[in-house]
Structure 1
Amino acid sequence: MSKPKKIIDNPTSAELLRQFEAFESLEALYKDFPLARKLFHKMENASNEFLKIKKQAEILKVPDQFNERFASLGWIAYESMNMEVMQKAINIHDTEGKDAAEKILADSYDEETLKWGILRLNGNRDFKKRIRLTELAREDYLAGRHHACIPLLLSLLDGLVNDVSKHVGFFAVNVDITAWDCIAAHETGLQTLASILTKGRNKTNEAGISIPYRNGILHGRELAFDNKLVAAKCWAALFAARDWAGALDDGKKEPKPKEEVSWRQIFKQISETNLMKKSIEEWNPRISENIPYFPFEGNISSLPENTPEYAVAAFLDHWCNKRFGPIADALLYFTDTPKGKKACIARQDFGKHVPTSFKVLGVDDQAAAVTHVIAELRFKIDDQEKIKEVSVRAIYQDLENNASVRSMPGGQWRIVQNSFTGIIYAHSL
């Protein structure tokens, strides 16, 4: 019988671990043979950096540790799940028991977690269709109406998987919710969760339950399902399904051709990491009151280029003039989406409420790669002017769409769409 695969065996994690092992072998050679020290005279510094990276890489083990303890209870690890919450739950499970750990997990699905989780749903067309119902489920959940939100979430989960897979729903016997190199869609993840949630419940049960058994709940055999723990597990399953859908959008259903990484590339990455670290240490936030061109309105060409305020001002200028193609190009995306489709989505999202003008009031430099640009938007509603103030989150990315330091060349500022959630998704202003 073959040994069950683990999440850490996923190609991305496994390749990283293989490189660590190879590096350790090379380091041993360096220490034991004087000739090696001449060949690799910079090994000592690289070794110190590599050990730091390896220590941080212990986090790769957390999803497996989490699933080993919690999958049978109706929780699974997924990409967008808070890693600190996972680690804390594991520690509490091992020291205080599963009940205390499950309480920590359930409490983590609070208003803030749901807000960001639902915002991520907007990035997938099949999830976006169901945002209205998802928002209603959130209202019921936060109000403690678990009897209402649980059946709704189970229904949404089933339909979503059906649409994404174009085959069957989440609770079908022959459902396939796996994907290559994906935490949520690992065989110990959603696939295992589906088998637990679809267990038969053939007798009417008046006692409370802690797992959202779909058949018992929707067929009226479970009469005490309405509690926070069951509801939180439904949210977790929904967000995990979103990460699975994202993996499919990224082409991860089947393995990609293996790409060999040379030692030259590894040392180059370490060098770039050191440069990045130095740039972060040297970076200091600006004081908005000391920037002479705030508040700003007028021709955006008078703003300094490659600054977050310039990027946001250009974005707002495009919005005022209904240039949806450039709007789409400026946004931060979590998945690979064709350019034409991005423009259509931008038109749909930003075309309902269009400002007539804007003013940039100031900036809040929060990190070397992150700035919040405070802006004032003016709208014309029924011949009256209405003003909305927004805090627009801008993130500096390199050419590979990784967060970078603003002083590093070749990057660009991306606009986070949920900065405008209260405007673009509002029924009226």
Structure 2
Amino acid sequence: MSKPKKIIDNPTSAELLKQFEAFESLEALYKVFPFARSLFPKMEEAFNEFKKIKKQAEILKVPDQFNERFANLGWIAYESMNMEVMQKAINIHDTEGTDAAENFLSDSYDEEILKWGILRFNGNRDFKKRIRLTEMAREDYLAGRYHACIPLLLSLLDGLVNDVSKHVGFFAENVDLTAWDCIAAHESGLQTLASILTKGRNKTNEDAISIPFRNGILHGRELAFDNKVVAAKCWAALFAARDWAGALDAGKKEPKPKEEVSWEQLFKQISETNLMKKSIEEWKPRIFEDIPYLPFEGNISNLPENTPEHAVATFLDHWCNKRFGPIGDALLYFTDTPKGKKAGMARQDFGRHVPVSFKVLGVDDQAAAVTHVIAELRFEVDGQERFKEVSVRAIYQDLENNPSARSIPGGHWRIVQNSFTDIIYAPNL
């Protein structure tokens, strides 16, 4: 009988570990042949950096460690779950026990986590159409009305999986909730969770439960399901399902062709990593004298190119002129999204409230790859002017859409859509 695969065996993690092993072999050869030190004097520094990176990579083990302790209790690891929360829950479980760990996990599903979790629904058509009901479940949950939100969340989970899979719902016997190279959709994740939540509950039970047994709750056999732990597990399952849907959107249902990494590529990656580290260490936020052109309004070509303020001003100009294609291209995406779909999503999100003009007020350089651009938007509503100030988060990315230091050429600035949440999703301005 073969051993069950772990999340760390997923291709992304496994490839990284393979590179570590290759680099360790190279280090061993380097130490065996002293002449190599004179030929490559800087390799010692590279090996020292590698050891630090490998230590940080211990985080790759956390999802497996989490599922080993919590999956049978109705919690699973998923991509968008806070890694620090996972690590702390594991520590509490091992030092204080299961109950303390479950209470900690339940408390982590607070107003802020729910807000950002639901915002991610906007990136998937099937999830987006259910935001209204999800918001109602959120209100009930935060008010402690667990008897109301739990059945609703279970219903949403079932319908969402049905629509995304185009086959069967979450609680169907033959549901397939796996995907290639995905934490949530690993065989120890949603698939295992579904088998737990669908366990038969054939007797009426008046004792409190801690797992959202779907059949017992919706068929009226579980009479004390209404507690925070059960409700939080429903939210966790829903957010994990969103990550599974994102993996399917990114084409991860089936494995991609394997690419071998050559020594040349490995050394190139090390060189690029060292350049990135140096660029980040040397980066400093701009001072007022560096940006005398702010506040700014007018012709955006007068702003310095390849700056975050130029990218944001260009984005806002597209918005004012309802150019939804360029708006879609400028946004930051966490999954591979077709160009045509981007434009349609942008029209749906940014087409309701369209500003007539804008002004760039200032910037807040927060990191080598991150700047918040403060802007004022002017709207006309029922013949009256309305002004909204926004802090637009801009992220600098390389050609492969990875965060990069702004001093490294060839990159581009992307706009974070959540910056406009209070405007684009507001019923009225």
Q: Report the TM range for the smaller structure's normalisation.
A: over 0.9
- For 1:97-128, what per-residue CA distance to the aligned partner results, in whole angstroms no more than 9, with x for missing partners? 01111111111111111111111111111111
Paired residue type of 1:66: F
Structure-2 residue corresponding to 1:171: 171
Match of 1:387, SS state, is strand
Structure-2 residue corresponding to 1:50: 50
CA distance in 1, matches of 2:157, 2:328: 28
Deviation at 1:35, TM superposition (A): 5.1
Match of 1:180, SS state, is coil
Paired residue type of 1:152: L
- For 1:176-227, what per-residue CA distance to the aligned partner results, in whole angstroms no more than 9, with x for missing partners? 0001111110000000000000011111111111111111111111111111
| Contact 1:168/1:175 (8 A) holds in 2 | yes
Alignment of 1:215-254 (within 5 A): 215-254=215-254
Structure-2 residue corresponding to 1:80: 80
Paired residue type of 1:211: I
Paired residue type of 2:72: S
TM-score under structure 1 length normalisation: 0.97
Structure-2 residue corresponding to 1:381: 381
Alignment of 1:228-377 (within 5 A): 228-287=228-287, 291-377=291-377
CA distance in 2, matches of 1:198, 1:237: 13
Structure-1 residue corresponding to 2:97: 97
- For 1:156-185, what per-residue CA distance to the aligned partner results, in whole angstroms no more than 9, with x for missing partners? 110111011110000000000001111110
Paired residue type of 2:382: D
Structure-2 residue corresponding to 1:14: 14
Paired residue type of 2:116: W
Paired residue type of 1:78: Y
Deviation at 1:43, TM superposition (A): 3.1
Identity level (%): 88
| Contact 1:123/1:334 (8 A) holds in 2 | no
CA distance in 2, matches of 1:384, 1:16: 57
| Contact 1:318/1:324 (8 A) holds in 2 | yes
CA distance in 1, matches of 2:355, 2:50: 50
Deviation at 1:85, TM superposition (A): 0.5
| Contact 1:247/1:253 (8 A) holds in 2 | yes
| Contact 1:288/1:363 (8 A) holds in 2 | no
Paired residue type of 1:344: G
| Contact 1:404/1:411 (8 A) holds in 2 | yes
Structure-2 residue corresponding to 1:2: 2
Paired residue type of 1:390: V
Paired residue type of 1:379: F
Match of 1:393, SS state, is strand
Q: Is 1:202 aligned to residue 182 of structure 2?
A: no
| Contact 1:46/1:267 (8 A) holds in 2 | no
Paired residue type of 1:56: Q
CA distance in 2, matches of 1:163, 1:319: 31
1:270 to 1:290, Cα distance in 2 relative to 1, 3 A: closer
Alignment of 1:70-149 (within 5 A): 70-149=70-149
Match of 1:422, SS state, is helix
TM-score under structure 2 length normalisation: 0.97
CA distance in 2, matches of 1:198, 1:231: 16
1:9 to 1:395, Cα distance in 2 relative to 1, 3 A: same
Deviation at 1:237, TM superposition (A): 0.5
Aligned length: 429
- For 1:293-342, what per-residue CA distance to the aligned partner results, in whole angstroms no more than 9, with x for missing partners? 22211111111111111111111111111111111111111111111111
1:398 to 1:166, Cα distance in 2 relative to 1, 3 A: same
Deviation at 1:23, TM superposition (A): 1.9
Deviation at 1:42, TM superposition (A): 4.2
Match of 1:169, SS state, is coil
Match of 2:123, SS state, is coil
Worse-superposed segment, 130-139 or 19-28:
19-28
Deviation at 1:286, TM superposition (A): 2.3
Structure-1 residue corresponding to 2:29: 29
Paired residue type of 1:184: A
| Contact 1:288/1:362 (8 A) holds in 2 | no
CA distance in 2, matches of 1:428, 1:51: 54
Paired residue type of 1:21: E
- For 1:15-50, what per-residue CA distance to the aligned partner results, in whole angstroms no more than 9, with x for missing partners? 211221222222222212335546655432221121
| Contact 1:49/1:270 (8 A) holds in 2 | no
1:83 to 1:38, Cα distance in 2 relative to 1, 3 A: same
Match of 1:126, SS state, is helix
| Contact 1:76/1:193 (8 A) holds in 2 | yes
- For 1:327-360, what per-residue CA distance to the aligned partner results, in whole angstroms no more than 9, with x for missing partners? 1111111111111111111111111111111111
- For 1:37-88, what per-residue CA distance to the aligned partner results, in whole angstroms no more than 9, with x for missing partners? 4665543222112111111111111010000000000000011110001001
Structure-1 residue corresponding to 2:162: 162
Paired residue type of 1:75: W
CA distance in 2, matches of 1:368, 1:339: 28
| Contact 1:355/1:380 (8 A) holds in 2 | yes
- For 1:349-401, what per-residue CA distance to the aligned partner results, in whole angstroms no more than 9, with x for missing partners? 11111111111111111111111111111111111111111111111111100
| Contact 1:151/1:218 (8 A) holds in 2 | yes
CA distance in 2, matches of 1:269, 1:280: 16
Q: What RMSD in Å do the two structures reach over aligned CA positions?
A: 1.3
Q: Is 1:405 aligned to residue 429 of structure 2?
A: no
Match of 1:205, SS state, is coil
Paired residue type of 1:197: L
Paired residue type of 1:90: I
Deviation at 1:252, TM superposition (A): 0.9
